Amino acid sequence: MWDNIGRTTAEYPHLSKLIDDPQRVEVIDPGNLAVQIRDDGIGALMIGMHYGNWELATVPGHRTGFTQYHFYRAPNNPYVDALLNELRKPLQQEGFLPKGSDGARQAVVLLKKHAHIGMLVDQKQDEGIPALFFGREAMTTTAPAALARRLDVPVVAARVVRQHGAYFKIFVHEFQIAKTEDRLADVIVSTKQFNTLLEGWVREHPEQWFWVHKRWPR
Protein backbone atom coordinates (compact mmCIF):
# COMPACT_ATOMS: atom_id res chain seq x y z
CA MET A 1 0.00 0.00 0.00
CA TRP A 2 2.76 2.42 0.88
CA ASP A 3 4.42 1.76 -2.48
CA ASN A 4 1.20 2.76 -4.25
CA ILE A 5 0.81 5.89 -2.11
CA GLY A 6 4.37 6.93 -2.87
CA ARG A 7 3.88 6.44 -6.60
CA THR A 8 0.56 8.33 -6.56
CA THR A 9 2.18 11.27 -4.78
CA ALA A 10 5.09 11.33 -7.22
CA GLU A 11 2.65 11.33 -10.16
CA TYR A 12 0.90 14.59 -9.24
CA PRO A 13 3.32 16.79 -11.24
CA HIS A 14 2.79 14.50 -14.27
CA LEU A 15 -1.02 14.42 -14.33
CA SER A 16 -1.12 16.77 -17.33
CA LYS A 17 0.83 14.20 -19.36
CA LEU A 18 -0.91 11.12 -18.04
CA ILE A 19 -4.46 12.23 -18.77
CA ASP A 20 -3.85 12.55 -22.51
CA ASP A 21 -1.61 9.51 -22.92
CA PRO A 22 -3.70 6.45 -23.91
CA GLN A 23 -0.58 4.29 -23.83
CA ARG A 24 -0.20 4.91 -20.10
CA VAL A 25 -3.86 5.41 -19.14
CA GLU A 26 -6.26 3.12 -20.99
CA VAL A 27 -10.01 3.58 -20.52
CA ILE A 28 -12.08 0.38 -20.60
CA ASP A 29 -15.67 1.50 -21.21
CA PRO A 30 -17.44 -1.29 -23.13
CA GLY A 31 -20.87 0.33 -22.72
CA ASN A 32 -19.59 3.71 -23.96
CA LEU A 33 -21.07 5.20 -20.80
CA ALA A 34 -18.92 8.32 -20.82
CA VAL A 35 -20.40 9.34 -24.18
CA GLN A 36 -23.91 8.42 -23.04
CA ILE A 37 -23.86 10.59 -19.94
CA ARG A 38 -22.26 13.41 -21.91
CA ASP A 39 -25.08 13.41 -24.48
CA ASP A 40 -28.20 12.38 -22.57
CA GLY A 41 -28.82 15.82 -21.04
CA ILE A 42 -29.55 14.29 -17.63
CA GLY A 43 -26.29 14.61 -15.75
CA ALA A 44 -24.82 11.83 -13.64
CA LEU A 45 -23.12 10.77 -10.44
CA MET A 46 -19.70 9.15 -10.84
CA ILE A 47 -18.46 7.07 -7.93
CA GLY A 48 -15.06 5.64 -7.16
CA MET A 49 -12.65 4.99 -4.31
CA HIS A 50 -9.10 5.77 -3.24
CA TYR A 51 -7.59 3.05 -5.40
CA GLY A 52 -4.64 2.93 -7.78
CA ASN A 53 -4.12 6.59 -8.70
CA TRP A 54 -7.63 7.79 -7.90
CA GLU A 55 -6.94 11.27 -9.32
CA LEU A 56 -7.10 9.75 -12.81
CA ALA A 57 -10.73 8.71 -12.34
CA THR A 58 -11.67 11.96 -14.11
CA VAL A 59 -9.94 10.85 -17.32
CA PRO A 60 -12.99 9.25 -19.03
CA GLY A 61 -14.93 12.49 -18.66
CA HIS A 62 -11.95 14.62 -19.60
CA ARG A 63 -11.34 12.71 -22.82
CA THR A 64 -15.03 12.61 -23.67
CA GLY A 65 -15.37 16.33 -23.14
CA PHE A 66 -17.73 17.01 -20.26
CA THR A 67 -17.01 19.09 -17.18
CA GLN A 68 -17.07 17.57 -13.72
CA TYR A 69 -17.59 18.70 -10.14
CA HIS A 70 -16.10 16.76 -7.25
CA PHE A 71 -16.72 16.36 -3.55
CA TYR A 72 -13.52 17.27 -1.79
CA ARG A 73 -12.26 17.48 1.76
CA ALA A 74 -9.55 20.13 1.84
CA PRO A 75 -6.34 19.24 3.72
CA ASN A 76 -5.89 21.02 7.03
CA ASN A 77 -2.75 22.70 5.71
CA PRO A 78 -3.84 25.52 3.34
CA TYR A 79 -0.50 25.45 1.49
CA VAL A 80 -0.90 21.76 0.71
CA ASP A 81 -4.48 22.46 -0.41
CA ALA A 82 -3.31 25.21 -2.77
CA LEU A 83 -0.56 22.99 -4.20
CA LEU A 84 -2.95 20.09 -4.83
CA ASN A 85 -5.45 22.36 -6.54
CA GLU A 86 -2.73 23.73 -8.80
CA LEU A 87 -1.56 20.23 -9.74
CA ARG A 88 -5.15 19.16 -10.44
CA LYS A 89 -5.83 21.95 -12.92
CA PRO A 90 -5.02 19.80 -16.00
CA LEU A 91 -7.89 17.52 -15.05
CA GLN A 92 -10.26 20.36 -16.03
CA GLN A 93 -12.43 19.98 -13.00
CA GLU A 94 -15.31 22.43 -12.92
CA GLY A 95 -15.14 22.92 -9.18
CA PHE A 96 -15.13 21.37 -5.73
CA LEU A 97 -18.02 20.71 -3.38
CA PRO A 98 -17.36 20.59 0.37
CA LYS A 99 -18.23 17.36 2.10
CA GLY A 100 -21.23 17.56 4.40
CA SER A 101 -24.67 19.12 4.27
CA ASP A 102 -23.55 22.26 2.40
CA GLY A 103 -21.98 20.20 -0.37
CA ALA A 104 -25.05 17.97 -0.58
CA ARG A 105 -27.30 21.00 -1.07
CA GLN A 106 -25.02 22.32 -3.79
CA ALA A 107 -25.01 18.91 -5.46
CA VAL A 108 -28.82 18.87 -5.60
CA VAL A 109 -28.84 22.25 -7.35
CA LEU A 110 -26.14 21.18 -9.82
CA LEU A 111 -27.74 17.83 -10.62
CA LYS A 112 -31.01 19.58 -11.34
CA LYS A 113 -29.01 21.54 -13.90
CA HIS A 114 -27.75 18.22 -15.35
CA ALA A 115 -24.21 18.46 -14.00
CA HIS A 116 -21.75 15.58 -13.61
CA ILE A 117 -20.52 15.05 -10.06
CA GLY A 118 -17.79 12.70 -8.87
CA MET A 119 -17.35 11.33 -5.40
CA LEU A 120 -15.11 8.78 -3.68
CA VAL A 121 -17.29 6.67 -1.42
CA ASP A 122 -14.87 4.50 0.58
CA GLN A 123 -14.35 6.85 3.51
CA LYS A 124 -15.88 6.71 6.97
CA GLN A 125 -18.91 8.96 7.43
CA ASP A 126 -20.19 9.48 10.96
CA GLU A 127 -23.55 10.67 9.62
CA GLY A 128 -24.01 7.66 7.36
CA ILE A 129 -25.46 4.23 8.09
CA PRO A 130 -23.76 1.04 9.31
CA ALA A 131 -23.22 -1.27 6.34
CA LEU A 132 -21.20 -4.45 6.07
CA PHE A 133 -17.71 -4.03 4.67
CA PHE A 134 -15.46 -7.09 4.84
CA GLY A 135 -17.85 -8.73 7.27
CA ARG A 136 -17.98 -5.86 9.74
CA GLU A 137 -20.29 -2.90 9.93
CA ALA A 138 -18.74 0.41 8.91
CA MET A 139 -20.39 3.80 8.81
CA THR A 140 -21.03 4.52 5.14
CA THR A 141 -22.29 7.63 3.36
CA THR A 142 -25.78 7.46 1.87
CA ALA A 143 -25.20 10.58 -0.25
CA PRO A 144 -24.69 8.95 -3.68
CA ALA A 145 -27.66 6.62 -3.34
CA ALA A 146 -29.88 9.36 -1.90
CA LEU A 147 -29.00 11.86 -4.63
CA ALA A 148 -29.38 9.37 -7.46
CA ARG A 149 -32.68 8.01 -6.12
CA ARG A 150 -34.17 11.44 -5.41
CA LEU A 151 -33.17 13.06 -8.71
CA ASP A 152 -33.32 9.93 -10.89
CA VAL A 153 -29.85 10.37 -12.40
CA PRO A 154 -27.61 7.53 -13.62
CA VAL A 155 -24.67 6.34 -11.55
CA VAL A 156 -21.38 5.38 -13.21
CA ALA A 157 -18.68 3.53 -11.28
CA ALA A 158 -15.02 3.86 -12.23
CA ARG A 159 -11.86 2.46 -10.71
CA VAL A 160 -8.26 3.15 -11.64
CA VAL A 161 -6.11 0.01 -11.57
CA ARG A 162 -2.34 0.38 -11.61
CA GLN A 163 -0.84 -2.17 -14.01
CA HIS A 164 2.82 -1.48 -13.33
CA GLY A 165 4.77 1.70 -12.75
CA ALA A 166 2.80 4.64 -14.15
CA TYR A 167 0.57 2.53 -16.40
CA PHE A 168 -3.13 2.23 -15.64
CA LYS A 169 -6.45 0.87 -16.79
CA ILE A 170 -9.68 2.65 -15.89
CA PHE A 171 -12.73 0.40 -15.81
CA VAL A 172 -16.10 2.11 -16.28
CA HIS A 173 -19.50 0.52 -15.77
CA GLU A 174 -23.03 1.44 -14.74
CA PHE A 175 -24.35 0.98 -11.21
CA GLN A 176 -28.06 0.29 -10.85
CA ILE A 177 -29.80 2.12 -8.01
CA ALA A 178 -32.65 0.21 -6.37
CA LYS A 179 -36.06 1.67 -7.28
CA THR A 180 -39.24 0.66 -5.48
CA GLU A 181 -42.07 2.57 -3.86
CA ASP A 182 -40.01 2.90 -0.67
CA ARG A 183 -37.31 5.48 -1.39
CA LEU A 184 -35.65 5.20 2.03
CA ALA A 185 -35.35 1.43 1.71
CA ASP A 186 -33.90 1.88 -1.78
CA VAL A 187 -31.21 4.21 -0.42
CA ILE A 188 -30.24 1.71 2.28
CA VAL A 189 -30.11 -1.22 -0.14
CA SER A 190 -28.08 0.71 -2.71
CA THR A 191 -25.64 1.98 -0.07
CA LYS A 192 -24.98 -1.59 1.06
CA GLN A 193 -24.49 -2.60 -2.57
CA PHE A 194 -21.90 0.16 -2.97
CA ASN A 195 -19.89 -1.43 -0.14
CA THR A 196 -20.19 -4.86 -1.77
CA LEU A 197 -18.86 -3.41 -5.03
CA LEU A 198 -15.93 -1.67 -3.31
CA GLU A 199 -15.07 -4.78 -1.31
CA GLY A 200 -14.83 -6.75 -4.54
CA TRP A 201 -12.47 -4.17 -5.99
CA VAL A 202 -10.24 -4.25 -2.92
CA ARG A 203 -10.09 -8.04 -2.92
CA GLU A 204 -8.69 -7.98 -6.47
CA HIS A 205 -5.81 -5.63 -5.65
CA PRO A 206 -5.71 -4.96 -1.88
CA GLU A 207 -2.34 -3.21 -2.10
CA GLN A 208 -3.89 -0.52 -4.32
CA TRP A 209 -6.50 0.59 -1.78
CA PHE A 210 -5.41 3.70 0.14
CA TRP A 211 -6.72 3.55 3.62
CA VAL A 212 -4.76 4.59 6.69
CA HIS A 213 -7.66 5.93 8.75
CA LYS A 214 -9.96 3.90 10.97
CA ARG A 215 -12.59 2.57 8.57
CA TRP A 216 -14.27 0.43 11.22
CA PRO A 217 -15.22 1.16 14.83
CA ARG A 218 -13.02 -0.40 17.50
Read off the pLDDT band of 102 (50, 70, 90).
confident
pLDDT band at 215 (very low <50, low <70, confident <90, very high): confident
In a domain, 218, yes or no: no
Instruction: Give the whole-angstrom CA distance, residue 194 versus residue 189.
Output: 9
In a domain, 50, yes or no: yes
Is residue 10 in a domain?
A: yes
pLDDT in tens, 35-47: 999 999 999 999 9
Q: What is the pTM of this model?
A: 0.92
- Examine residue 53 and state whether it is found in any structural domain, yes or no: yes
Q: Give the pLDDT confidence score for residue 124 in this predicted structure.
A: 80
State the pLDDT at residue 92.
Answer: 64
pLDDT at 132 over 70: yes
**Structural domain contains residue 89:** yes
118 in a domain, yes or no?
A: yes
Residue 152 lies in a domain: yes
Which residue range forms the structural domain that includes residue 28? 2-206
Total domains, the chain: 1
Residue type at 74?
A
